[in-house]
Amino acid sequence: MHKTMWRCGHWVMARDYQWRRLNQVMALNQALRVVFPLILLGSLADLVIRGWLTPTGYYYQTLHVENWCPQRARLEQGLLLLQNGAVGLASLGLAIVVSFYLVRQVTRSTDDQLTAGLLAGLTLQLVNVNPVSLQPHHAPAWLAMNLGWHGILAGLVVGLLVGNLYRIGVRIWSSPLDATLRPITLGSLGGLGVATVSGGWLLAAPFTVRAAFNAWLRLPLSFPTGWGQLASFSLLNGAMTWCGTLGALPTTSGQIVAATQNLAAVLGSAHWQVPHVLTVQTVIQTYASMGGPGMALALLLAIFLVRQNAAQRRIGWLSLVPVLGNFNAPLLVGLPVIWRPLLGIPLLLAPLVCVSISSLALAFHWVPATAYPLAVSTPGPFLSFLGSGGSLRALLLAIVNLALATAIYYPFVKGDAAVDRRLAEEAKRDATSDELA
């Protein structure tokens, strides 16, 4: 059994190593490193806004911020500007940088590299405009800088698409007579193509990419109850997080109704009995999202336990404050977890195990179900304790889930560190060979 698991782990690490050596993946990882400071800045601003300056925030309620921060509204406006600007620029920057690095791999022409990057930025802008604002004598409402955390995936996809199309153009026209002729020609043709596609998109679908994406996510599992639906919801959330859709899935009306009915049942009765025991709030948000979707707090603990990769620990320390407030974007982008198969496995598996254990405990009434509203940025393990009215059994279940999730993440984080070392040694050998040559 031990040998079988060792061989399986070795095989997964080998596939992850091959995956990370692909040109597309290397460009993606380089782009994520570039935008990491923006993601970290946006996450910190978002944490302060939602946790400290909003009435539904944990620190706003516990520290009575309204009593000692008279300029709260002004501060919130400034931080909103910072958060939207940083996250929006990160989405736009990902499209530009991914396309830039993809073209850089096939040509040394700086003009081609910059042209490809600008085309990707233009594409993301043109497919994210509010159609209602397209009126004569009115400025259009560009939404590419307001995509939110879901814009990370949009930036990656647009960058890959435009960068690969430009690479094809470079390979076809491999020897231009004039160094400036190719980028001018490909840039002009690309701009016309982007304008045509975006125009067709607006005519065929009069809504933005963000609105379409949220509408699509609300279709399945609009009111998940029962282990099967909650497990599917957890897997969908994990898969979308791994792809780059950071943040929780959109809340549906069915989930809001269930949470309201649970709260009303608790407030109107002397006994702690709720009509909806297994819901997104009582299971996933309480026991399977500590640190953010994917049990990011467990990932952070596993990083500190491994102690074999200094780069991982640096990202962990930088992401510590956001993760404690359940904002996992810096950790997922900094490592990165996004589009990395080895870390994608525990990202799906750890929450699924937590959902299963928590559903069993709730179904047999071993712990009370969460009924009170969960304040934003409440440290993960305390969500169950506060949401259940101070139940120590609920707190114990949360700690058990966190320990199990950390144990699940540990071997994968250790394997990821080993792959990092192998890639670093290979890059060092290549650099030495180039210097000798």
DSSP labels, 222-276: SS--SHHHHHHHHHHHHHHHHHT--SPPPPPHHHHHHHHHHHHHHHT-SS---S-
What DSSP assignment string belongs to 124-178?
HHHTSB-GGG--TTS---B-GGG-GGGHHHHHHHHHHHHHHHHHHHHHHT-S-SS
Question: Does pTM top 0.85 for this prediction?
Answer: yes
Q: Please tell me the predicted confidence (pLDDT) of residue 417.
A: 92
Most confident of 91-105, 236-250, 272-286: 91-105
**Ramachandran assignment for 233, one of left (phi > 0), alpha (psi -120 to 50 degrees), beta (any other):** alpha
Most confident of 102-111, 169-178, 217-226: 102-111
Q: Please tell me the predicted confidence (pLDDT) of residue 4.
A: 75
Least confident range of 368-372, 373-377, 427-431: 427-431
Least confident range of 57-71, 146-160, 167-181, 242-256: 242-256
Q: Please tell me the predicted confidence (pLDDT) of residue 215.
A: 57
Q: Of 78, 86, 77, which Cα lies nearest the Cα of 36? A: 86
**Rounded average pLDDT over 357-375:** 93
Q: What's the token pair of residue 73?
A: 């509204």
Q: Please tell me the predicted confidence (pLDDT) of residue 212.
A: 58
Has residue 247 got a pLDDT over 90? no
Q: Please tell me the predicted confidence (pLDDT) of residue 168.
A: 93
- Mean pLDDT in the chain? 87
Q: Please tell me the predicted confidence (pLDDT) of residue 256.
A: 78
Cis amide linkage into residue 336, ω under 30° from 0: yes
**Rounded average pLDDT over 190-218:** 67
For residue 75, what are the CA distances in angstroms to 79, 81, 119?
6, 10, 36
Distance (Å, whole) CA 193 – CA 189: 6
**Structure confidence by residue, pLDDT tens digits, 22-54:** 999 999 999 999 999 999 999 999 999 999 999
For residue 9, what are the CA distances in angstroms to 14, 23, 239?
9, 24, 21
Has residue 160 got a pLDDT over 70? yes
Least confident range of 62-71, 82-91, 263-272: 263-272
B/e letters for 151-185, b = 16+ CB within 10 Å, e = fewer, are: bbbbbbbbbbbbbbbbbebbeeeeebeeeeebbee
Query: Could you tell me which residues are beta bridge partners of residue 142?
Result: 129
Distance (Å, whole) CA 265 – CA 267: 6
* CA–CA–CA angle 344, 346, 349 (5° rounding): 115
